[in-house]
A and B are shown apart, each in its own frame.
Chain A
């Protein structure tokens, strides 16, 4: 007598050997509860709870899958868990950085006068007094904000013409010549120059040409240009490349000269992309610290002359306030100012990034693509 298989199956043959659709949710719930229980034994904290639960979830789901579905499906589940997990891990520092800056920076930024006063005359004694008496922290970032704007503007004025013209050469005149290939290669290499080396180059150049110890906003602007030019070249090149060839050919067919074609047809078509690329390049260099540190010195007062005298900037302001607090015995006011400046800097960078997207959308050519 043979044993017959049970006739009435609960599940269709097609879905046999598969986890039910609700399996991940069940495992997740169990993992969260177990994780909370384990963490309760060794002292609860949210980060540990997430970590332990994630590990338990992975083990549980992969184990269940291995038992029901077999090794191939189980390793697929494991890979999915690891890949999603790595994305969540990458979000942790982003959230943590933004949270830290917000929590520490808001007290600084809402102090009256923070954005409109400089550090001129703010000494350790004043900081000590404000801590002892519990009064508001004096001093602000106006001089640094002004310096950052001036240095970045000058760097933009230097970089945009050079970068844009180079991109035009590469796309319109280069024709894959040896020189064009060399420029492309070295622009790529230039993208990788460490920012501090760019600062040292600018310092070394001005030390040799103007005189040892030359430190002004202009030196910093040249250093930033070295970092900014390759970014402008790359983004403008990409944008010029996607201008349809039909537009150029139509202009040539009407007898328009090449340079007029480029100025009147090609660039207006690509201007939205170029402008947003330039904005992103500004966002990239505005937060650079190291090159300004070695080229512009430290200033505590307002300097309106980018070509003379030491100049402060937001990144170097943050750096010096953290590393060398104004009052060594009471570093809290300095740290409050530093985080406030960090918040201002992040807001600036985010606005520039947002601006780049808006520019790309607003100035995009209306028809034809």
Chain B
């Protein structure tokens, strides 16, 4: 036999190449299809709520009167969570990247990552069973001493199950996200800049101000945006901790509600138009978080050349 084994195996090999590259391409496209499907199916199922007569929607004033207050409640909870989490997260990231002894740093990073590993329902249970009762005396104090501020208007909730407690729990949950992204970017700050600053006599804090923070700014901003995305969509912390109600300015009374918690609390028992209403609420949440995340990713990609973080 004189058949050339190189040429005969070629046919099968080429087919294998085609099949394999086709499979990988199909998998990649499937992801795009799924994301598109998420939007499509949410829209399809939400349409009945959007076109229904206003009187049929919960509250009797149409979909937008229903969704408006809980959108505001979602934003309040997420923004407070970020206000609490951001300074702590940046401090922790700096501690791990520039203050902790080198040998401990990766271990400490792992400890912070443990915060991200704890399931959200456990945080919710912790917030409701431990944090809320512990923190309610502080709300009483705030109500009697700073009650002139609308956000601390009394009477304070006796159970402590308020939007502020929910936000504190949320802040614990977004902390590891902001920390790990900021830590990555702080570690990438050019060593030469840091050493130059120290050689000119800067203290460690001055070195961080001169060399590390300006370098890390886009990374910090996008880390905060990603944390915001997580805080907006987090369900369990709010569903278990907050005793929900109408939109109120006071953070220490029961009241307010977020989209995710509203869905989780009502969807299991919902039927008919109520399902559509809740799916439409989910669509609103999807659009908000999609916008936030796309802005964050865009900031990261724009600064990719000189930051290297992603």
Residues of A within 8 A of B (CB): 72-73, 75-76, 78-80, 82-87, 89-91, 93-94, 96-98, 100-101, 104, 161-166, 168-170, 172-174, 179-180, 182-183, 185-198, 200-201, 203-205, 207-208, 212-213, 226, 229-230, 233, 255, 257-260, 262-263, 283, 286-290, 293-294, 297-298, 315, 318-319, 322-323, 335, 338-339, 342, 345-346, 349-350, 353
Known contacts A287-B121, A289-B119, A289-B236; can you find 14 more A-B pairs with CB under 8 A? A91-B111, A96-B131, A162-B30, A169-B21, A174-B28, A180-B28, A189-B294, A192-B293, A196-B263, A208-B44, A259-B20, A286-B119, A287-B122, A293-B264
Are B226's CB and A87's CB within 8 A? no
A161 to B130: give the CA distance in the assembly, Å: 41
Are A82's CB and B91's CB within 8 A? yes
The verdict on B115 contacting chain A, using a C-beta distance below 8 Å, is yes
Chain B: minimal CB distance from A202 (Å): 9
A189 to B39: give the CA distance in the assembly, Å: 13
Task: Please give, as numbers and ranges, the residues of chain A lying within 8 Å of B130 by CB-CB distance.
Answer: 96, 100
Chain A: minimal CB distance from B90 (Å): 8
Q: Do A318 and B121 form a contact, CB below 8 Å, given A90-B175, A200-B263, A201-B41?
A: yes
The residue on A at minimum CB distance from B9 is: A257
A205 to B282: give the CA distance in the assembly, Å: 14
A96 to B123: give the CA distance in the assembly, Å: 10
The residue on B at minimum CB distance from A263 is: B20
Q: B14, B29, B115: which contacts A93 (Cβ < 8 A)?
A: B115
Are B99's CB and A83's CB within 8 A? yes
The verdict on B211 contacting chain A, using a C-beta distance below 8 Å, is no
Are B122's CB and A255's CB within 8 A? no
Cβ contacts B263-301/A at 8 Å (1 or 0 each): 110011001000100110010011001101110110001
The residue on A at minimum CB distance from B209 is: A79
Are B16's CB and A283's CB within 8 A? no
Are A85's CB and B27's CB within 8 A? no
Q: Which stretch of B151-159, B199-207, B249-257 is in the interface?
A: B199-207
Are A187's CB and B31's CB within 8 A? yes
Task: Please give, as numbers and ranges, the residues of chain B lying within 8 Å of A200 by CB-CB distance.
Answer: 42, 263, 267, 278-279, 282
Chain B: minimal CB distance from A134 (Å): 22
Are A84's CB and B111's CB within 8 A? no
Q: B21, B128, B206, B282: which contacts A72 (Cβ < 8 A)?
A: B206
Q: B17, B20, B108, B129: which contacts A87 (Cβ < 8 A)?
A: B108
Between A and B, 23 residue pairs with Cβ closer than 8 Å are: A75-B205, A83-B94, A83-B95, A161-B27, A164-B27, A169-B27, A185-B297, A185-B301, A191-B293, A192-B290, A192-B292, A193-B289, A197-B233, A205-B41, A257-B16, A259-B21, A294-B263, A294-B268, A318-B125, A322-B128, A322-B240, A346-B118, A349-B117
Chain B: minimal CB distance from A326 (Å): 16
The residue on B at minimum CB distance from A174 is: B28
Chain B: minimal CB distance from A87 (Å): 4
Chain A: minimal CB distance from B235 (Å): 4
The verdict on B82 contacting chain A, using a C-beta distance below 8 Å, is no
Query: Nearest 7 pairs between A and B by C-beta?
Result: A194-B233, A287-B119, A86-B91, A165-B27, A192-B293, A259-B20, A169-B24
The residue on B at minimum CB distance from A47 is: B134
Q: Do A290 and B117 form a contact, CB below 8 Å, given A87-B92, A192-B226?
A: no
The residue on A at minimum CB distance from B23 is: A165
A298 to B17: give the CA distance in the assembly, Å: 46
Are B203's CB and A72's CB within 8 A? yes
A164 to B267: give the CA distance in the assembly, Å: 33
A77 to B31: give the CA distance in the assembly, Å: 50
Q: Chain A CB within 10 Å — which of B16, B44, B91 has the most?
A: B91
A207 to B25: give the CA distance in the assembly, Å: 29
The verdict on B142 contacting chain A, using a C-beta distance below 8 Å, is no
Q: Do A198 and B121 form a contact, CB below 8 Å, given A89-B88, A186-B32?
A: no
Are A198's CB and B38's CB within 8 A? yes
Are B28's CB and A183's CB within 8 A? yes
Chain A: minimal CB distance from B267 (Å): 5
Task: Please give, as numbers and ranges, the residues of chain A lying within 8 Å of B94 by CB-CB distance.
Answer: 83
